[in-house]
Amino acid sequence: MFDDIYMSFRTSIARIKPVSRAGDYCPFCDRKSIYEEGKVIREEHPFMLVENKFQTLEHAYQMVLIESETCDNDLSNYNKEHLHRLLQFGVRCWQEIEESGEYSSVVFFKNHGVHSGGSVFHPHMQIVGLNTIDYTKHVYPHHFVGLVIDEKEGVQFSLSRYPRSGFTEFNIVLRDFSMLSYMADYIQVAVHFLLNHMNKKYQSYNIFFYRLEDGIAAKVILRAPGSPYLMGYSIVQVPDNQQEIIDRVQSLYFSTSFGENTT
Ligand SMILES: [Zn+2]
């Protein structure tokens, strides 16, 4: 019953799964062992899509996308070339796995920080094929409606008016795949803003990707301890200072007022 939203979680596997923090031995930095003991699904140096050794979900196939060769890196400070290639690689892998037809749907997301649900410190993303669940049934167009921060033809960056989980959610909606690099830039701005300005305290965020009828979308979500209204009642809180947040992001990252139009 209700098996379109409930997934069985294998507690015995979760128990043996490593939890790494900065400075620990990192299984994702140790590429030699990955080649020897792991299963590499796709590779485009320095990116790797590998089988997750710890398949904690039943009726699913979990993969890990390793984003960099070392731990001391984060999406907020990747150079443009690395950032753009990463998103191209990730979106292509995601799409190819969807097109294999083996899964009911395929989720693609990133956890960062202790409040995001992640357990390994090394920068990585996850691609998970879900055998029976179609996540798109729980995704609605209004989730991507927002106050526009910036846009180019075919790609829009906004602050969600109707967040899925409350508080600050940035939307990046892509309808023209030739604009994927701009999508990557917008994602980086949102992540940088959360880590350096808005969520300094918890240093946590998620990026979730969604397949839409006419493109794809990403949400960059600030993570902090969960809201009791959401946990207990599925009531979503929306901050009343959204315009202020937009003004801050625009002036920090998109301002053209300096040195221009000063005549
Ligand atoms: Zn590492």
Report the CATH number of the 139-254 domain. Answer: 3.30.428.10
Ligand 1 center from residue 18 Cα (angstroms): 13
CATH of 17-138, one of 3.20.20.60, 3.30.428.10, 3.40.50.720, 2.30.30.140: 3.30.428.10
Ligand 1 center from residue 151 Cα (angstroms): 34
Ligand 1 center from residue 204 Cα (angstroms): 18
Residue 113, amino acid = G
Ligand 1 center from residue 208 Cα (angstroms): 22
Ligand 1 center from residue 184 Cα (angstroms): 22
Q: What is the pLDDT of residues 190-204, one digit of tens each?
A: 999 999 999 889 999
Is pLDDT at 146 greater than 80 in this prediction?
A: yes
Q: What is the pLDDT of residues 95-142, one digit of tens each?
A: 999 999 999 999 999 999 988 888 788 999 999 999 999 999 999 999
Is pLDDT at 257 greater than 60 in this prediction?
A: no
Q: What is the pLDDT of residues 5-56, one digit of tens each?
A: 888 888 888 887 767 666 678 888 899 999 998 899 999 999 999 999 889 9
40-44 and 215-222 strand pairing: unpaired
**pLDDT reported for residue 39:** 93
Same fold, 17-138 and 139-254: yes
Query: What percentage of the chain has pLDDT greater than the value 70?
Result: 94
3-state secondary structure (DSSP) of residue 216: strand
Q: What are the residue ranges spanned by the domains of the chain? A: 17-138, 139-254
Cβ-proximal residues to 165 (8 Å cutoff; 6+ apart), any chain = 221, 230, 236
**pTM, entire model:** 0.93
